Amino acid sequence: MALVVQKYGGTSVGNPERIKNVARRIIETQQAGHQVVTVVSAMSGVTDGLIKLAREVSHAPTEREMDVLLATGEQTTIALTAMAINAMGHKAVSLTGAQAGIVTDGFHTKAKIANITPKQLKQHLDDGCICIVAGFQGQTAEGKITTLGRGGSDLTAIAIASAIKADICQIYTDVDGVYTCDPRVVPDARKIEALSYDEMLEMASSGSKVMQSRSVEFAKKFGVVFEVRSSFNNNPGTIVKEETKGMEDVVVRGVSIERNQAKVTVLNVPDQPGIASKIFNTIAAANLTIDVIVQNISTAGTTDISFTLNKDDLPKAQAALDPVVREIGGGLSAQDGIAKLSVVGIGMRSHSGVAAKMFEALSRGGINIRMISTSEIKIAVIIDEAKINDAAKLAHEAFGLGA
């Protein structure tokens, strides 16, 4: 008998029929001899409907009240899912985030989990009940309702799995698992059987948006083994866990694509302390998320600093930087229509020549590299968006990732 935590997202519980389908899957898991805790999200569309209501009463809804409002979405799903299981003749109880013992800090709409006291949860499991827990929400030690921000339900599942020492945490989604590349781009992309937390993190931050990084980081920190799998079939998914010896044998685990990027370069920056911090403080104050940052060595006392960001944020970034650039006496160049291609794998730490192989592959396709950025287990290049599919196929093939 294993202790299993499952998580189903908004699409999987999007209407009463789908909720009944999820109920059947949960029951099957229990009948296979396991104890089951299932975390569910709000039914798809519900959260957007609530946000629309809030905007009708307030242009800038208070974050405290936004949390109270949005928490009703998941509360609705847990009640309906538990009812559906009960109607099929099995014992199930619903638990809100607060009832499941999820205690957070007080940062409304983006709270962090402080600790979990799963007393009620354990008691219900001991009573032979299936527990249906509301994802995305918690409460502060003082009893205020909070929500965890984007990807919050995954985080709830992984945090609960950690707190109750579950054997496995299954993240059900609308894809079969993590692939070596997006199968719509690279037809012979394969599902990855297992990968390390670090690889998953790099894949996620490189555009494979199966999960938010924060959930993977939490899993890594507390050693929670989880599996990404489909809620529409019974295929085994992708296991994400601590790095194991054999994992290093594969040099590159996968190829990630991120489209809709833009590049900003601050030109002729005086090569002196404090300038970079001035630029990026300005960006942070404008609440913009940036990705790759590149600075090369300086020539003639000045240098150029480039960074990428989502192309929708480009006008905001230009407006924010304009006074700073004028103050330091530099220039500003911006360009959209670019994309990021990354190859990821913990094996590349111990294998040289990965970068060379990648650049060679792109060169064969006549693809010009505009920026390069690397981490210990990732090489990312910025190229023209028009070439991204070709580039992905070439890299995928060069590292022998196909079926």
Contact status: 171 vs a copy of itself (CB under 8 A) = no
Give me 21's structure tokens. Answer: 């389908």
Contact status: 297 vs a copy of itself (CB under 8 A) = no
Euclidean distance between CA atoms 192 and 401, whole angstroms: 10
Q: How far is CA 179 from CA 190, 192, 195, 217, 373, in A?
A: 5, 5, 11, 20, 22
Strand partners, 36: 4
Q: Considering the complex, what minimum distance in angstroms separates the CB of residue 157 from a copy of itself?
A: 19
Contact status: 343 vs a copy of itself (CB under 8 A) = no
Please state the φ and ψ torsions of residue 170, each to the nearest 5 degrees. Answer: -100, 120
Contact status: 109 vs a copy of itself (CB under 8 A) = no
Contact status: 96 vs a copy of itself (CB under 8 A) = yes
CB 91 within 8 A of CB 127: yes
Please state the φ and ψ torsions of residue 401, each to the nearest 5 degrees. Answer: -85, -15
DSSP symbol at 91? -
Euclidean distance between CA atoms 72 and 320, whole angstroms: 37
Kindly tell me which residue out of 99, 146, 147, 238 binds a copy of itself, with binding defined by CB under 8 A: 99
Kindly tell me which residue out of 2, 32, 87, 284 binds a copy of itself, with binding defined by CB under 8 A: 87
Kindly tell me which residue out of 28, 32, 58, 337 binds a copy of itself, with binding defined by CB under 8 A: 58
Residue type, 291: D
Segment interacting with a copy of itself (CB under 8 A) among 95-103, 167-175, 199-207, 395-403? 95-103
Q: Considering the complex, what minimum distance in angstroms separates the CB of residue 231 from a copy of itself?
A: 17
Segment interacting with a copy of itself (CB under 8 A) among 92-100, 106-114, 160-168, 182-190? 92-100
Contact status: 145 vs a copy of itself (CB under 8 A) = yes
Residue 231 exposed, middle or buried by CB count within 10 Å (0-12, 13-18, 19+): buried
Binding residues vs a copy of itself (CB under 8 A): 16, 19-20, 23, 50, 53-54, 56-62, 64-66, 68-69, 71-72, 75-76, 78-84, 86-87, 93-94, 96, 98-99, 120, 143, 145
